[in-house]
């Protein structure tokens, strides 16, 4: 897996959703997302993404199993949280 591909994905897996706007502008008042828990979660992403801190798994290009792929590179999986494999 190329370092550039991984860095690009972890830098912004949300396609710019969090860029240039404070969290208060991202959450519409009165919407289902207008809760303290969501605000804390969004703040975590807002602070971490500029440093490529992304806490979720990479998007796989093949079905999860012992061998898979991400960013056009084969991966050997030693463990996963997939309930399907």
d(CA 81, CA 43): 25
Q: What is the pLDDT of residue 82?
A: 65
Tell me the per-residue pLDDT of 24-59, one tens digit each, with 9 for 90 and over: 999 999 999 999 999 999 998 888 888 877 666 777
Q: What is the pLDDT of residue 70?
A: 81
Tell me the per-residue pLDDT of 8-22, one tens digit each, with 9 for 90 and over: 777 778 888 888 889
- pTM confidence score: 0.59
Q: Report whether 73 contacts 1 (CB < 8 A).
A: yes
The stretches of the chain forming alpha helices (DSSP H) are: 3-11, 23-26, 36-48
Give the pLDDT band (50/70/90) at residue 84: low
């Amino acid at each position: 897996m190329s370092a550039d591909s991984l860095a690009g994905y972890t830098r912004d897996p949300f396609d710019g959703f969090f860029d240039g706007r404070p969290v208060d502008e991202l959450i519409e008042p009165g919407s289902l997302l207008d809760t303290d828990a969501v605000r804390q979660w969004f703040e975590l992403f807002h602070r971490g993404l500029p440093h490529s801190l992304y806490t979720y798994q990479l998007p796989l290009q093949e079905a999860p199993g012992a061998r898979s792929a991400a960013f056009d590179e084969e991966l050997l999986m030693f463990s996963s949280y997939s309930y399907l494999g």
